[in-house]
Amino acid sequence: MDAPQDFFDFISASPSAFHAAEEVARRLEAAGFTRQDPAQAWDAQPGGHVLSRDGAVVAWWVPDALTGESGFRIVGAHTDSPGFALKPHPDRAAFGFAQAAVEVYGGPIVHSWFDRELTLAGRVTLADGSTRLVDTGPVARIANLAIHLERKNEFNPHPQEHTSPILALEGDASVSELLAEAAGCEPDEILGHTVITADTQPPRLFGAAGDLIAAGRLDNLSSVYCGLEALRGAAGAAESGGDVLVLAAFNNEEVGSESTSGAAGPLLTEVVERTAAALGLDREETYRMLARSSMVSADAAHSVHPNFAGKHDPGHLPLINRGPVTKINAKQRYASTDRTVAAWRRACRAAGVNDQVFVGNNAVPCGSTIGPISATRVGIPTVDVGIPLLSMHSARELAGAADVEALTRALRAYLAAAE
């Protein structure tokens, strides 16, 4: 199988949520979308528009004309991934080593981050109020403890004491200097930063058949990429059936989504309401349009693990490279309902894509997504889906190349109203 190089390029260009949002916006601008300044009059002219905010990005495509059946068709995802975020005072020194002071962001598999060459990536704000994206390249490493010093091989890293990355010998480098070099400024010009670690090992195909993907940040750049490609394809072919097509990739999902750029914030509501107003709809007409709308929340799903099959429900065992997974939970950890699941399955059938189902083992709590949050906040029926992964929240996760293509096709069919 040929390497999905464009997907790999997208991952490599997106070491942080800020980079991911900018890469989505850049690719959409290249496809003819125009940037929206939220402080200016809202643009709902026919064609594509894109807005980025603090590591989130929302794009919408307006058809040439609305009909009495028009609604919003939304693909939701998130740009952030677990890792280690720099603290406000990022420099520390201990026993002759220069280190970075970090705190845990989200729920990483902590030990998977040890002994990897890490970049420091994100955004800095300068004294003049401007912001710059930074990506230092491989400058940091969280070193493991030698087996000779932990004979039982039961090292359980302490999040405060054991996770500070080493940068260099003391006096040879500092976080402040590295960020300034990446930003092209002096260290004292940087007054604020939101920076996270990311694995610098590039994505690659592996396995006897060459159809498995090893990469960082598959949760959830896989969904962002598939949603981006689906939107570009559907919008370019004018396949919306009169609906406004939306891609909403939020930040901060890994820490609860409660931020101005998270799914619990006002971003999606702002985009749909301002778009409706710019289209000339009054409040009652906007509610009618929302009542005709739907959303697919796309976030990575769990493949059955062959070494830990007991962690899964025996009747619901998704496999890698067997198609996107529909996620269902009776406690509403996922937003899927019988009606939204049926609509998604129709889209999969229209795309010629096999669909699978994940339901958690009753004794094993499952995670959640932006789906229930957005569905509750905006009031739009939603289904939760995603490609199956192993090693979710590891520094380097495992997915299937065929699943990336399949989810893209299914999302495009959904956006094209091919149900």
Query: pLDDT per residue over 248-306, tens digit each?
Result: 999 999 999 999 999 999 999 999 999 999 999 999 999 999 999 999 999 999 999 99
pLDDT for 238 equals: 57
pLDDT for 109 equals: 96
This prediction has a pTM of: 0.96
- Mean pLDDT (whole number) for 114-131: 98
- Mean pLDDT (whole number) for 229-234: 95
- Mean pLDDT (whole number) for 323-346: 96
pLDDT for 93 equals: 94
pLDDT for 2 equals: 53
Determine the Cα–Cα distance for residues 217 and 194; give it in Å rounded to an integer. 17
Tell me which amino acid residue 200 is: T
- Mean pLDDT (whole number) for 314-322: 96
pLDDT, tens digit, for every residue of 376-386? 999 999 999 99
pLDDT for 42 equals: 97
For the chain, how many residues are written?
A: 419
Q: Is the pLDDT of residue 240 over 60?
A: no
Determine the Cα–Cα distance for residues 202 and 396; give it in Å rounded to an integer. 10
Determine the Cα–Cα distance for residues 256 and 241; give it in Å rounded to an integer. 34
Greater pLDDT, 186 or 417: 186
- Mean pLDDT (whole number) for 318-341: 96
**Percentage above 70 pLDDT, the chain:** 98
pLDDT for 310 equals: 94
pLDDT for 150 equals: 83
Q: Is the pLDDT of residue 331 over 60?
A: yes
Equal CATH topology for 3-81+216-416 and 83-199: no
pLDDT, the chain, mean: 95
| Contacts (Cβ under 8 Å, ≥6 apart) of 44 | 62, 274, 275, 278, 279
Domain coordinates in residue numbering, the chain: 3-81+216-416, 83-199
Burial group, residue 73, by CB count within 10 angstroms (0-12, 13-18, 19+): buried
Q: Is the pLDDT of residue 16 over 90?
A: yes
In words, the CATH class of domain 3-81+216-416 is alpha beta
Determine the Cα–Cα distance for residues 379 and 74; give it in Å rounded to an integer. 12
**Percentage above 90 pLDDT, the chain:** 92
| Contacts (Cβ under 8 Å, ≥6 apart) of 261 | 53, 54, 55, 56, 250, 251, 252, 267
In words, the CATH class of domain 83-199 is mainly beta
- Mean pLDDT (whole number) for 140-149: 94
pLDDT for 272 equals: 97
